[in-house]
A and B are shown apart, each in its own frame.
Chain A
Amino acid sequence: MRTILEIKSLTMDFGGLRALDHVDMDINEGEIVALIGPNGAGKTTFFNCITGIYAPTEGDMIISRPGKKKTRINGLKPNLVTEKGLARTFQNIRLFANMTVLENVMIGRHCRCSSGILGAVFRNRATVKEEQKVVEDSYMILEKIGLSEYVNEVAMNLPYGAQRRLEIARAMATEPFVLLLDEPAAGMNPQETRELDDLIVRLRDDEKVSILLIEHDMKLVMSLSDRIFVMDYGKKIAQGTPDEIKNNPAVIKAYLGEETDA
């Protein structure tokens, strides 16, 4: 199996607080990897560093796609990271609330299109064609993710579970090879969570994306993941298959310790 995303010794300081402390991780092609840990462990910060929203204090992030040479993505702006093929969703849903569902997905297609101001004004054939294709592609994506009934609905009017799925649809529209999901099941009911489970597997198998997900729902994590990374207080405390993690004393301590605190 080839490694497609490699993170070495990633460190992030916020003033005096070290939110990430020399974290290493690697993701292989076609893998579903979970990142778990108690609240405030630094999981979202980890995502923000990878996707260029924060500039990490230290560390290296390297992507190597089949047929292309290795590239470092440190210090790239978020839009360039997305262009390189890493797309994400947000823990606290960040849809374009007043745009329609379809438009949300069309925004995802933005970086794979090229028409400019002149094209917009003159509507030359290339622009019209591209626009048409964007609409069709976006609709296809919505169909795959099971949101086509909402196409023209304004995003903020969607039920909660559908909003979470729309975030995934929007991320998929950027044609990623690694999809980063930040607590995709948060706030979903059991039925919706099961559907999400199916969806994530389908994305990996049909769309050939590797998936890194942060999740608190242990049932989902255990059933989906090929490998699990565990973080606590900004440090990686364990990694392994679901079975290994279940019986890892350090992990049990981190989680139980949190419970006695609360």
Chain B
Amino acid sequence: MFLTFPIMVIRVNTVENVVEWRWNNMIIIGAGSFFLSFVWRYLLKKKETGNQKAKPVETDRVPLSQRLFEDHKIYIPAAIAIAVFAVIFPFVFSMYQTNIMITALIYVTIALGLNIVVGLAGLLDLGYVAFYAVGAYSYALLNYHYGLGFWTVLPIGAGLAALFGIILGFPVLRLRGDYLAIVTLGFGEIIRLVLENWNEFSFGPSGIANIPRPGFFGIDFSLRGATIYIYFLMIGLTLFTVFVVNRLQDSRIGRAWVALREDEVACQAMGIDKTKTKLTAFALGATWAGMGGVVFAAKTTFINPASFTIWESINILCIVVLGGMGSIIGVIIGAFVLILLPEYLRAFSEYRILLFGAVLVLMMVFRPGGIISNVRRTYKFEGLKNKTEMS
């Protein structure tokens, strides 16, 4: 409460050069924090009793999220509803809404990429936005210098980002936890500073304008048409991402990533090549950021280094953590919550960050696993059991 004092109570009116003392704010804050501390205590208590109660029955209680996905009666209609909604969305809602949705989908894609690195492999990467920048600048520059089109650059951007992922991966192979976070953070800043200061290469802080929107067999769209086109392109890319990440997760490599996250020493002792596993995680994670970057550049038609600050990395990391590390559905929900909410909360723009912070803190305390925590896959062995019994 006392910490907020200078911000909330004293206001320097720069126009008239007088200091306004807003004492009534002080009272509100006092009462507010008093009340909040009660709510806090109550919730903590509830959480503790909840934990105690949950323990004995835990084994046969299936988490809600899992039940939702296993019950076909629920999830098939839900999937159809979402699909229909997604298809008619750009035709029903305004272009403004469609643009927000495109942004949200871009974040879904890159957050799913970061999810590989942070959620699955457990490597805390704070410089992830660098790969996003690599993607965006590869489209902008390759187009500017060589006139390459969107579809040509999409794989190139992805590849370049993957390459940068490996370049970052090598020096940090031995690091983990906090050290890794700091080095990757530095890496992200280096990329941004290079883009900002190397004028001949990247046009410095003024950025690159007039980046063409993606083409479709040479057809020129109106602005609205192009937006709708990008929207569907993003839907496609998102589905592709979900498909690939889901398959990776449930594979030999995906398991190796999780094992690496769980225990690095044991993982190596069980015959997993740490170097290879880490580098594939970095490279594959970066790939999606690269693709997201290419689409981002094509969507905004203008990029500059200011779009790729450390805050962007933190934002994406928040999506992954809030959504549920390692859970695809969780990350998708997280991306929508974190990107759409601030957009629609513009009315409260002053308190946006405050709310944002509060939500994150609450989440960490009450649902450390994220909105949807990852559920390990289970296997059934009825047939096999009989086989072994007979032999």
Contact = CB atoms under 8 A, between A and B. Distances in A.
Residue of B244, B252, B259 with most partner-chain A CB within 10 A: B252
A117 B256 CA distance: 12
24 contacts: A79-B268, A79-B269, A79-B270, A82-B269, A90-B265, A98-B258, A98-B262, A98-B376, A100-B378, A102-B379, A106-B255, A107-B259, A107-B267, A107-B272, A110-B271, A110-B272, A113-B252, A120-B248, A120-B253, A130-B252, A131-B251, A135-B379, A148-B381, A173-B270
Nearest to B254: A120
Interface in B131-173: none
- Interface of chain B, main secondary structure: helix
Contacts of B379: 102, 135, 139, 151-152
Contact of A108 (B59, B270, B284): B270
B255 A151 contact: no
B248 A117 contact: yes
Interface in A182-224: none
Given A106-B255, A110-B256, A152-B379, A123 B247 contact: yes
A117 B268 CA distance: 19
A78 B269 contact: yes
A4 to B, nearest CB: 19
Interface of A: 51, 53, 77-79, 82-83, 87-88, 90, 94-100, 102-103, 106-108, 110-113, 115-117, 119-121, 123, 127, 130-131, 134-136, 139-140, 143, 148, 151-152, 154, 157, 170-171, 173-174
Contacts of B251: 115, 119-120, 127, 131
- Interface of chain A, main secondary structure: helix
A102 to B, nearest CB: 6
B54 to A, nearest CB: 13
Nearest to A105: B270
B262 A82 contact: no
Contacts of B176: none
B259 A94 contact: no
B388 A94 contact: no
Contact of B252 (A51, A53, A110, A151): A110
